Structure 1
């Protein structure tokens, strides 16, 4: 819900200049990934997949409905905050735009086409293909594309977060926005992305203190209890952020109030979640670089099982069955984040596409300037060898 080419958010690097990073070797860059953010991305993607598996099962269990509501309150906000944090360097330069196209637009087009075709094949019901109406989980790629394009604007204005909150509140009372590009979600989740843009590394260090980790225990306990109470009293669709207040059958003024309430509660739970994320290298740390695969591919497993009616089996609607499904989906999404799977799908998730872009004239000029120096260096090396 987190370098968009190999994961849902940019690869966490140490905060050095872009020029320095270009001159580092791949091994050196790999060592400078921040284990905390890779761990956070992996754990968040597991929560996303497990929550998707709970959706067809939760109707028979109030506890599962409460857990589902709790997870939906923070898993995508956490993903989006981290996405915003690592989007701070986006400046609209040719290199950044190229990466945005290859890492976000291309996977969106591919999977926005693949999911309807998959439903047509498995379910036997013809499904229209529309690039304007995101299907299932592809909305996040569409939203990330729009958010990234607007990043220079948010870095320019004086008070970006209040402005983003105002836009989200207005969106919640505007049913005329419609479903194109899932703009309701884009606008209602916008404050979390803008918040990420305004954060600094020390803010994440604050939530990782021992006192915060301890305080997160009663916070989550109270949140779970409130979710259990709210199951029969609150429309869970509020957590999807895809409808206006009027579309959810509420008075228009409820929309802005719910936006503020959900933003505050989601932000609190996100901070608690991040406080529990390990900061050291774990067995799953390297999987954080493959969250794009895990995110986009697990939907085929969930939807395939749903189309085939596997979730209707009575055994899966009992506590042990629900636990078994959760564990199976967690293992599946873990395998989908591994390096072999990433290599197989690199052609659609990390395409080079040099043929589609013009060469950057500034980069070409710099390379030409370096050529004489490189030739001189080679001559010096030859002289040393001959000596």
Structure 2
């Protein structure tokens, strides 16, 4: 999603992170098409539960990792605005308008304070990245972030504005990403970890199947306090810690299986923001038109078919032609909206001088 590892000129992108982002966005799309179907299949709901345990934590950890250099330097703040805030405003407006016209819902409101469907992640990423200097300053950032998440889980009065429950409950994963280094990702990519990930995922799938009738899947969304889930208040902090531990274990197993070399889908990792935001229109269109109500989709072959279609669709939406078409909304230039920063102009002059010197030396 909005986690592109922006490389310096001449610096090659890391294939591992692009592969991880692409595979995670495929899981996101699969999860969204499973949601209206899973009620008829305990196996599918168990798989859905396992996927929801780690796919967003994986994205958020990568987002935090690539936010380590963020400070309040003007060029970085501009990128935050154009790459996160502007897409949030555009898609937070576009989704309700889409519902108005396709679902014939004229009373559907547009509210920039109440993230709708997929836009919560952009809102959260904007807030998390703005707080990055704080987490780089404090002595124990991860325990502090976990403490905040635990407190949020017992505070139903936080409300829905800016989806702050999700912002705060997912915060520890972002902070963990900020604290990580390249070698930490290398640790989970060892051969023995890949092998160990097989029984771990097998156990997780068995536990997921067992938990289907016993556990409220809303815990995996991190958008409600314990009291809103009809649970005792003390279960909120317990579940935050339990979910954090389970999510980290499965995320580590997921990273262990991510290829580190260039694959046919590696280049698509740069377009995960496009796949994330655009596939939501396909999912919602299908819901509004009743596609998921067809009986054929509520059988194993139908579930497999719609899963493959979701993977193919989100893959297409990550491709270069789609990115060129929608770049105006995802990565607008907007130079007209910002003052020219003196330090940035000086860096640009120095860069041009170095290029001229190289050309002169080559001649």
Give the TM bin, normalised by the shorter chain: over 0.9
State the partner residue of 2:167: 186
Alignment correspondent of 1:264: 245
**2:318 corresponding residue in structure 1:** 337
Instruction: Give the deviation of 1:35 after TM superposition.
Output: 0.5
How far is the alpha carbon of 1:363 from its aligned partner?
2.3
Distance 2:206 2:349 in 1: 65
The 3 A distance-change label for structure 1 pair 149 and 320 is same
Q: Give, in angstroms, the shift of residue 11 of structure 1.
A: 1.4
Shift of 1:67: 0.6
Q: How far off its partner does 1:8 sit?
A: 1.9
Q: Which residue of 1 aligns with 2:266?
A: 285
After superposition, the Cα gap between the structure-2 partners of 1:364 and 1:249, relative to the gap in structure 1 and judged at 3 Å, is same
Q: Contact 2:75/2:344 (CA < 8 Å) preserved in 1? A: no
Q: Residue 87 of structure 2 aligns with which residue? A: 107
The question of whether the paired residues in 2 share the 8 Å contact of 1:12 and 1:37 is answered with no
Number of matched residues?
362
Aligned to 1:304: 285
Per-residue displacement from partner, 1:313-355 (whole Å, max 9, x unpaired)? 0000000000000000100000000000000000011100000
> CA 1:232/1:99 → structure 2, altered by over 3 Å: closer, same or farther?
same
1:132 aligns with 2:113: yes
CA shift digits 1:268-298 (9 cap, x unpaired): 0000000000001000000000001100000
Seen in structure 2, the aligned counterparts of structure 1 residues 40 and 381 have a Cα distance that, compared at 3 Å, is: closer
Over 6 Å off, 4+ runs? none
* Distance apart, 1:207 and its partner CA: 0.2
2 CA distance for matches of 1:149 and 1:67? 34
Q: Does 1:117 align with 2:111?
A: no
Q: Is the 8 A contact 1:12 1:38 kept in 2?
A: no
CA contact (8 A) 1:94 1:360 kept: yes
Distance 2:350 2:315 in 1: 46
1:55 corresponds to which residue? 35
Distance in 1 between residues matched to 2:117 and 2:213, nearest whole Å: 25
Distance change >3 Å, CA 381–CA 280, structure 1 → 2: closer
Deviations 1:33-71 (A, max 9, x none): 110000000000000000000000001000001011110
Query: Is 1:10 matched with 2:4?
Result: yes
Cα distance in 1 between the residues matched to 2:233 and 2:344? 52
What is the rounded CA distance, in whole Å, between the counterparts of 1:315 and 1:375 in structure 2? 61
The unaligned stretches of length 5 or more in structure 1 are 1-6, 14-20
